[in-house]
Amino acid sequence: MPANFLAALRREPSGGTPVWFMRQAGRYQAEYREIRAKHSLLEICALPDVCTEVTLLPVRQLGVDAAILFSDITVPLLAIGIDLRIEENVGPIIAEPFAGAKDLVRLRDLAPSEDEPFLEATVRQIVKELGPTPLIGFAGGPFTLASYLVEGGPSRQYLKVKGLMWQDPALFRRLLERLADLTFKHLAAQAAAGAAALQIFDSWVGSLTPHDFALHVLPVMQDLFARLRALGVPTIYFGVDTAGILPLMAKAGADALGVDWRIDLDAAWRLAGTRHAIQGNLDPALLLGPWSEVEGGVRRVLAAAGSRPGHIFNLGHGVLPKTSPEILRRVVDLVHEARAET
Amino acid sequence: MPANFLAALRREPSGGTPVWFMRQAGRYQAEYREIRAKHSLLEICALPDVCTEVTLLPVRQLGVDAAILFSDITVPLLAIGIDLRIEENVGPIIAEPFAGAKDLVRLRDLAPSEDEPFLEATVRQIVKELGPTPLIGFAGGPFTLASYLVEGGPSRQYLKVKGLMWQDPALFRRLLERLADLTFKHLAAQAAAGAAALQIFDSWVGSLTPHDFALHVLPVMQDLFARLRALGVPTIYFGVDTAGILPLMAKAGADALGVDWRIDLDAAWRLAGTRHAIQGNLDPALLLGPWSEVEGGVRRVLAAAGSRPGHIFNLGHGVLPKTSPEILRRVVDLVHEARAET
């Protein structure tokens, strides 16, 4: 019997520690690489049969306790007509970056059933094939989406998006609110089609000072999570480099916080407070190391979680392309066995 | 009268908050760009007259309370014969990356007076021209140096250096110990020539889990700071993304910890404990924003420090190339005026 991921999200007894991995479907899998030889990443997202196959691969191969919709944070941006492409080994490249108030009109309302009709079809098909294993819906956070739109692509220092935030905070707020509405509708469609939980990947919010996060981003996230709460589906809020803003992220209103490996899980939990489940936080690089080290790392994460209900085992960021599927399978087994031992 | 940087390092009353900036000599200055049109970065480091001019530029232009030797963390590596170059807008590129025990022999003992004779000459000249303003000596931390040596250059994920750490921890330890010895001798030569304080730039230690930092890096840092303590010169230990490892960095034995902007200064101080001075922590990107925002940011950092002795105002990382010198000058004035107001 698998550990109960949804119970853990509610901080209820879950029959042990549930485990899944961010980017658990991806280039580390030979089967995925074969599919990618035929389809681009964004094509896979828009083809229900192929997306279902990719989403289910890790569930069948690894025995994880949850599936996550195979997708990309740019999918809803594409759906409303933003011109972008995913460059291999780089990331999303925006043809015309967001440059001012005149560009707000390009962020029109998303109508999932018309703009991304594949989404509901895909989620329904995945949920049907998954059986009892829950599916996690997928979307990017407004700040992270804004960073791509304003920078025009991936960034190291986020100078342009921070510059907009400081030069014109009212416009920045309107941009985030437009993106939060996009995120909400994209996630609501997934929940309506059967997604049992929703994760917001706000990967780059950790580049902000606590003050800027609290002033410019947190109110938007609070509104977003309040709207999501009405869907009746538990939520996870994830970012990297967030050790300094965890107490603020805890005010956003998600049921669980995802944390990276740069902070001990118990320290993160103290900062997040007891009303949250915690997801994490093995260093994904460790999976490239010898098994003895991997095992030690997994056991340390479990020990840091202690016997508290509400721990969901995961990595601190996505699975790296050079990771061995066999190592991931052993990690799943170890997390499940450790449960049996306690 | 300038604020007393050295008194602040000792957490003694310092006549207000001293201020300097990491990379306060650099491309944001027209005078520096003129000099760089004639000399490479590493040439400047090796030419006492030019290095003195560059090191003193920000002291004269900005009124900062300390100078820092203009240098690069690769200088002592070059001095012992490691083949490397600095690539513009990229960073250090190592011709033959460290690949195993056979490469330890390439990390021979540094004899500063023979291997880098310009170093003592430069420091003496700077100290003489500075008058009462203290000079901070400069070196890279062993882990950060190891990351360049093993990765072969800058890295986003540090997979190779972490891989070595997990695959062969004994060799990794010997590598760090060799680099710590190099760092010690490089800093001791600067102290002997008149440097009044020493900062170790261990920029990338924040990529490690607290466990890995404590097990693989901290013991080496404790030995290094114990050796430095015997020089009788106060020390500063700096890294970015360190919010999760600050309580461990506080055990290294430095007098001050430098922190980035991703954590509130008062939270950082609580994690570091009261026996440390704290240096930081304005987001360098904020200096590209409007003055009203800069002013607010500076005042928030000062407010977070409160009236505690031992705060040294700085940025959370180096000055960005697009920064206006005028803005930096106004920040220095604001920090000094805020002192007068209290």
Residue A105 to residue B201: CA distance in whole angstroms: 46
Q: Is the pLDDT of residue B31 over 70?
A: yes
Alpha helices in chain A (DSSP H): 5-9, 30-38, 41-46, 48-62, 75-79, 112-115, 117-130, 142-151, 159-167, 169-192, 210-212, 218-229, 246-249, 265-272, 291-305, 325-341
In a domain, B285, yes or no: no
Interval B102-112 mean pLDDT: 97
**A78, A129 contact by CB (below 8 A):** no
- Beta-carbon contacts of B168 under 8 Å, excluding residues fewer than 6 positions away, are none
DSSP labels, A86-131: EETTTEEEESS---SGGGGGGSPPP-HHHH-HHHHHHHHHHHHHHT
**B217, B244 contact by CB (below 8 A):** no
- Beta-carbon contacts of A128 under 8 Å, excluding residues fewer than 6 positions away, are none
Residue B98 to residue B94: CA distance in whole angstroms: 9
**Segment (H or E) for B81:** none
Task: Give the minimum alpha-carbon distance from B243 to chain A in angstroms, rounded to a whole number.
Answer: 6
Which domain covers residue B185, as residue numbers? Answer: 40-63+67-195+197-233
In a domain, A47, yes or no: yes
Q: What's the confidence (pLDDT) of residue A89?
A: 87
Which residues partner with B314 through β-bridges? B281
**B162, B90 contact by CB (below 8 A):** no
Residues 85-114 of A with CB under 8 A from B: none
Q: Is B311 helix (H, G, I), strand (E, B) or coil?
A: strand
B244 in reach of chain A (CB within 8 A): yes
Confidence class of residue B3 from pLDDT cuts 50, 70 and 90? confident
**CA distances in angstroms from B209 to A129, A334, B253, B303, listed in the order given:** 38, 20, 20, 30
Which of A31-40, A294-303, B289-298, B303-312 is the least confident region?
B303-312
**B336, B44 contact by CB (below 8 A):** no
Q: Is the pLDDT of residue A2 over 70?
A: no
Residue A330 to residue A286: CA distance in whole angstroms: 13
In a domain, A280, yes or no: no
Residue given tokens 């005028």 in the structure block: B326
Q: Is the pLDDT of residue A182 over 80?
A: yes
Give every strand in the sheet of B235-238, ordered side by side: B67-68, B135-140, B197-201, B235-238, B256-258, B277-282, B311-315
Which of chain A's residues have a Cβ under 8 Å away from the Cβ of B320? 157, 159
A27 catalytic? Reply is yes
Phi, psi of A84, rounded to the nearest 5 degrees: -150, 160
**B55, B67 contact by CB (below 8 A):** yes
In a domain, B217, yes or no: yes
- Closest Cα in chain A to B285: A159
Which residues partner with B258 through β-bridges? B238, B279
Q: What's the confidence (pLDDT) of residue A33?
A: 97
In a domain, B12, yes or no: no
Chain-wide mean pLDDT for chain B?
Answer: 96
Q: Is B135 helix (H, G, I), strand (E, B) or coil?
A: strand
| Catalytic positions of B | 23, 27, 36, 72, 148
Residues 18-37 of A with CB under 8 A from B: none
A36 catalytic? Reply is yes
Task: Give the minimum alpha-carbon distance from B83 to chain A in angstroms, rounded to a whole number.
Answer: 27
Q: Is the pLDDT of residue A40 over 90?
A: yes
Instruction: Retrieve residue B140's tokens.
Output: 């890279």
DSSP labels, A148-173: HHHHSS--SS-HHHHHHHHH-HHHHH
Q: What's the confidence (pLDDT) of residue B290?
A: 97
Task: Give the count of domains, chain B.
Answer: 1
Residues 183-242 of A with CB under 8 A from B: 206-212, 241
- Cα radius of gyration (chain A): 19
In a domain, B201, yes or no: yes
Amino acid at A218: L
Interface test with B, best of A283, A299, A323 (most B CBs within 10 A): A283
Instruction: Give pLDDT tens digits for B194-220.
Output: 999 999 999 999 999 999 999 999 999
Task: Give the minimum alpha-carbon distance from A248 to chain B in angstroms, rounded to a whole number.
Answer: 11
Nearest to A209 among B167, B245, B261 (CB): B261
Q: What's the confidence (pLDDT) of residue B340?
A: 57
Interval A43-58 mean pLDDT: 98
Q: What's the confidence (pLDDT) of residue B147?
A: 98
Residue B342 to residue B189: CA distance in whole angstroms: 39
Amino acid at B32: Y
In a domain, B224, yes or no: yes
Which residues partner with B84 through β-bridges? B94
Instruction: Give pLDDT tens digits for B158-177.
Output: 999 999 999 999 999 999 99
Omega cis (within 30) before A281: yes
Check: complex ipTM more than 0.90? yes
**A76, A186 contact by CB (below 8 A):** yes
In a domain, B85, yes or no: yes
Q: Do B264 and A244 touch (CB under 8 A)?
A: yes
For B81, other C-beta atoms within 10 Å of its C-beta total 10
Task: Give the minimum alpha-carbon distance from B244 to chain A in angstroms, rounded to a whole number.
Answer: 4
Q: What's the confidence (pLDDT) of residue A19?
A: 97
**CA distances in angstroms from B314 to A330, B54, B65, B262, B265, listed in the order given:** 46, 19, 11, 14, 11
Q: Is the pLDDT of residue B139 over 60?
A: yes
Interface test with B, best of A155, A160, A262 (most B CBs within 10 A): A262
Interval B288-305 mean pLDDT: 97
Confidence class of residue A219 from pLDDT cuts 50, 70 and 90? very high
Interface test with A, best of B158, B162, B166 (most A CBs within 10 A): B166
- Beta-carbon contacts of A240 under 8 Å, excluding residues fewer than 6 positions away, are A203, A204, A206, A260, A262, A316, A317
Q: Is the pLDDT of residue B118 over 70?
A: yes
CATH code for the domain of A98: 3.20.20.210
Q: Is the pLDDT of residue A67 over 90?
A: yes
Task: Give the minimum alpha-carbon distance from B261 to chain A in angstroms, rounded to a whole number.
Answer: 5
Residue given tokens 């506080």 in the structure block: B250
Nearest to A285 among B159, B262, B290 (CB): B159
Q: Do A166 and B293 touch (CB under 8 A)?
A: yes
Amino acid at B313: F
Q: What's the confidence (pLDDT) of residue A124?
A: 98
**B9, B234 contact by CB (below 8 A):** yes
Q: Indicate which residue of A65, A72, A181, A212 is catalytic.
A: A72
**B166, B227 contact by CB (below 8 A):** no
**CA distances in angstroms from B192 to B102, B182, B187, B188, B314, listed in the order given:** 33, 15, 9, 6, 26
Interval A320-328 mean pLDDT: 97
